[in-house]
């Protein structure tokens, strides 16, 4: 019996749901019941009847699933799979910014810890960040932790005063303007689809800026309309999905360093370890989780 067959059989027996982020390896995605971006996975976890959630991603994703599903058992298969950007901001950082800007609302990117969500006003995803900020009544907005996504939001929301934190995603941030210029020169006419976690000088060369799910949808739509050349400006997992699903298309990365090491820590054996009781489930402070849940629910209420 293959690892996939073992996982499927054990998951069914235990009423478990296996979820995988788009940045996970294709081997891990093949084991999953659902593949999606971070907040979509948390919503799958909330809406399912499964009692056990195995979330193949990084820690803040498993925390979000637990926040929205406090009565379910949630596992992170690779316990050391963290998010450097999420770790760049602490609750104390947010509280200090609040003290410096008492009239500002705090909008935190979903790529943040439960503790940071708990001291924020509303959460956002990369796909909903502009909408959330535009619909927040305060003019002054403290945006944490990603300065690149926050910079993109500031460009799209000129009526708001965006106060940026200094965090960033190391994987997206390392891509340079020269990388995308070179990629476009090597593939003239290709559609460049870029994540807003990239630097401003990279974003300005994009034909489309959007979330992970948005990039996949845009590529599929363009492909259906006849486009065959794509430059992908996000983690290599998306590149691999599109290369698999658009077989006669020319799908390239805009940079050679687009691999998130934390997203690649999970393997099928780690999923099996959860099902075999060899991993500890996610445990969150009850009050912290309650307050963090409010920021996620407000995001959904506003339109995230």
* Residue 155 located in a structural domain: yes
- For residues 90 and 113, membership in a common domain is answered with yes
- For residues 148 and 294, membership in a common domain is answered with yes
Q: Distance (Å, rounded) from C-alpha 252 to C-alpha 14?
A: 40
- For residues 71 and 59, membership in a common domain is answered with yes
* Residue 138 located in a structural domain: yes
For residue range 179-206, list pLDDT tens digits in order.
999 999 999 999 999 999 999 999 999 9
* Residue 295 located in a structural domain: yes
The whole domain housing 181 covers 175-253
* Residue 258 located in a structural domain: no
Tally the domains of the chain: 3
* Residue 11 located in a structural domain: yes
For residue range 28-76, list pLDDT tens digits in order.
999 999 999 988 898 888 899 999 999 999 999 999 999 999 999 999 9
For residue range 210-267, list pLDDT tens digits in order.
999 999 999 999 999 999 999 999 999 999 999 999 989 999 999 988 999 999 999 9
- For residues 31 and 103, membership in a common domain is answered with no
CB 109 within 8 A of CB 145: yes
- For residues 118 and 194, membership in a common domain is answered with no
- For residues 105 and 158, membership in a common domain is answered with yes
- For residues 16 and 73, membership in a common domain is answered with yes
- For residues 246 and 275, membership in a common domain is answered with no
Q: What CATH number has the domain bearing residue 116?
A: 3.40.50.10800
């Amino acid at each position: 019996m293959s690892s996939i067959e073992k996982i499927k059989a054990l998951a069914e027996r235990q009423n478990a749901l296996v979820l995988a982020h788009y940045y996970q390896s294709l081997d891990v995605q093949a084991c999953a019941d659902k593949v999606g971006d971070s907040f979509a996975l948390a919503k799958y976890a909330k809406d399912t009847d499964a009692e056990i959630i195995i979330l193949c991603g990084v820690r803040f994703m498993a925390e979000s699933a637990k926040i929205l599903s406090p009565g379910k058992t949630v596992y992170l298969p690779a316990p050391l799979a963290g998010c450097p950007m999420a770790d760049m901001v602490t609750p104390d950082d947010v509280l200090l910014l609040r003290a410096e800007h008492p009239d500002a609302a705090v909008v935190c990117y979903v790529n943040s810890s439960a503790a940071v969500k708990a001291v924020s006003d509303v959460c956002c995803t990369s796909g909903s960040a502009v909408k959330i900020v535009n619909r927040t009544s305060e003019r002054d907005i403290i945006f944490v932790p990603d300065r690149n996504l926050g910079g993109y939001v500031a460009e799209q929301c000129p009526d708001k005063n965006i106060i940026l934190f200094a965090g960033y995603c190391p994987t997206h941030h390392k891509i340079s303007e020269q990388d995308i210029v070179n990629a476009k020169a090597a593939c003239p006419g290709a559609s460049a689809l870029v994540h807003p976690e990239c630097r401003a000088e990279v974003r300005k060369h994009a034909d489309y800026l959007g979330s992970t799910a948005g990039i996949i949808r845009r590529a599929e739509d363009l492909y259906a309309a006849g486009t065959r050349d794509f430059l992908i400006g996000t983690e290599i997992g998306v590149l691999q999905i599109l290369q698999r699903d658009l077989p006669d298309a020319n799908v390239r990365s805009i940079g050679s360093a687009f691999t998130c090491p934390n997203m690649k820590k999970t393997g099928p054996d780690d999923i099996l370890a959860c099902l075999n009781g060899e991993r500890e489930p996610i445990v969150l402070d009850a009050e912290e989780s309650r307050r963090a849940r409010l920021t996620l629910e407000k995001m959904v209420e506003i339109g995230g």
